Chain A
Amino acid sequence: MANASFNNPKRLLRVPSPVAHAAFQKALVISALLLVIVVLAIMLSLAIHSFPSLKAFGFTFFFSKTWDPVSGRFGALVFLIGTLLTSFLALLICLPFSLAIGIFIGEYHREGIVSSFLKQVTELLAGIPSVIYGFWGLFVFVPVVRNLEMKLGVLPYGVGIFAASVILSVMVVPYAASIGREVISMVPSDIKEAGYALGATRQEVVTKIILPYARSGILAGILLALGRALGETMAVTMVIGNANIIPRSIFSPGNTMASVIANEFTEATGELYLSSLIQVGLLLFLVAVGINILGRYIIKKVSIEA
């Protein structure tokens, strides 16, 4: 019964009617547009709801480091700095590791047990819920950082920018690595062979041919990882220390935009307080969009026309 259409050549060869064709096309357009509309609607509603705070503080909201719910004075500078600092630091830490994984699986060991095992494990990292990273960070990693801080002679909080960045870097490795691996494995073999023919060693082929060829794809992976790091909430809030101060060193506690929203939204009373939190959300949204646009521009600049 299920195979009826295959037994009936007439049905198989039937040309779709113009009506069905048009309906199909319409459905495609509608679903594509719907997504765009949702994104715009999110931005619009964030903007509308942050209007009271925008009216009260104007642009000082972005430069003020005071966040005082009691007296109703709000500024987002501390959170902006915290978010950017942890995200870029995480990216810096994850870069060598994700690149190494990408080259290892994409070039050196394309097949076999080792590579498929490594691939599975990196992908598993992406599937672990962030609260688990947070718990692991708080109970296992933070004491390690504390020992390190005691040896360095800084105030041994354990939690702080450094702990948050390291946890974040582990979380974003799979994003950067999987795209890196994909583009590295797609580097055409004729140009690699050309390299070998000229007497290049394998290492030279990797650094002088494969990496330059794949750099736009590698950058795209990094951009994806950065987007993930910017918005990460749960794991960061558990290990960053949630102190509303501008961090003086990487071992200092801090706070991020996503984590202040998650922490204070449920109990935020009063229009201005709620609206300021929403404006922090709007800022986070704009930062993510801005970095994305900048990233695409850079990718375009460095990409090699194939």
Chain B
Amino acid sequence: MRKLVLISFVLALLVLPAPPGAGGMELLGAGATFPYPLYSKMFYSYWKETGTKVNYQPIGSGGGIRQLINRTVDFGGSDAFMSDEALSKSPATILHIPICIGAVVLTYNLPGKPGLRFTPNLVADIFLGKIKRWNDQSIEEINPGIRLPEIDIMVIRRSDGSGTTFVFTDYLTRVSKEWDTKVGRGKAVNWPIGLGAKGNPGVTGLIRHLPGTVGYTELGYALLNGLPVARLLNKYGEFIKPSTASTSKAAAIPLPMDTRVSLTNSDTPEGYPISSFTWILVYREQAYGKRPLQKAVELAKLLWWMTHEAQRYTEPLHYGTLPQEASERAEKIITSITYDGERVFQ
């Protein structure tokens, strides 16, 4: 008899759904890992302020887009915008809403942590394996006064497919013809040289432990690990120090209406050249499946909050804030969201 009670209790636990959350609505998202620290901070604050819970799974941009296409989430997150071809294949119109701007920095491990300067050609040549030693003349020429050691350059890059790699190789493809023909851009590429490490923590971990290494990582991870970051020559002949401010300035360019644009090597005098938007992706028409109107309204409200009030969380977490023009574009896009053809947000 006792056994029977126990079994039925266990069965009840398995079968009965979890008790619904206290009042609030729940939104589901999945996608890019790169903005995850920012998103989790934002969503936590949003839940405290409004009672709306947002559940975001950092499974990678590709996964986020796949889940949005399959309509298993309310929104997706991606570091790379969807191509025209991918958009035309999607079941309905998908909107890109820029949330913040990220920077990919060059970091290295050299004795004395000298502050180095790099030119686009230099970066391409190092990652193509053409410059092999730190005391190479081409590095010394643009870093006068710095004594560089006579050791081999060891290139560290990501082994997993990632948005960070996409942004970095997108930059190299734009600045170097040779990179464009030999390697190209992608979330994973056929690297000519180097060691692969998993994730930003893997890359920073290897660089910290191996003298003579150079690699690329997100700004926040390099700063968090106390690694030096290189200044990079931009289009205007300025060596730009990567920071949240210079990252944000990289987006101060004329933007297309849908904000689908690459910010690498962008046309700004003070912008850091390896920067990129990260987007949240939603369907324009929100009345699909059995979604209630309330869900669409909550989603639009959340997106508005993220591109406005919540921008205050970007700087402390080393992300670039949306510049004026980008946030105006975001407003237009958010207000174009509809439910059964009617705008959900005025």
Contacts and interface: CB of A to CB of B under 8 A. Distances in A.
B and A form one assembly: yes
Interface of A: 1-2, 66-71, 138-139, 142-143, 146, 155-159, 237-238, 241-244, 253, 255, 259, 262-264, 266-269
B161 interface: yes
B152 A155 contact: yes
A interface, by DSSP: helix, strand, loop or mixed? loop
B239 interface: no
Contacts of B341: none
A242 B161 contact: no
A66 B190 contact: yes
A66 B23 CA distance: 55
Q: How large is the interface on B (under 10, 10 to 19, 20 to 34, 35 or more residues)?
A: 35 or more
Given A264-B188, A267-B160, A237 B195 contact: no
Given A1-B1, A70-B185, A139-B205, A243 B161 contact: no
B154 A267 contact: no
B271 to A, nearest CB: 26
A158 B60 contact: no
A71 B181 CA distance: 10
B187 A242 contact: no
A68 B195 contact: no
Nearest to B166: A267
B206 interface: yes
Contacts of B159: 237, 242, 255, 259, 263
B202 interface: yes
Contacts of B184: 70-71
Contacts of B205: 138-139
Contact of A264 (B61, B65, B160, B197): B160
A246 to B, nearest CB: 14
B197 to A, nearest CB: 7
A142 B195 contact: no
Contacts of B59: 266
Chain A to chain B: the 3 pairs with minimum beta-carbon distance, closest first: A267-B161, A242-B196, A242-B159
A157 B210 contact: yes
Nearest to A253: B195
Q: Which of B2, B160, B184, B189 has the most CB of A within 10 A?
A: B160
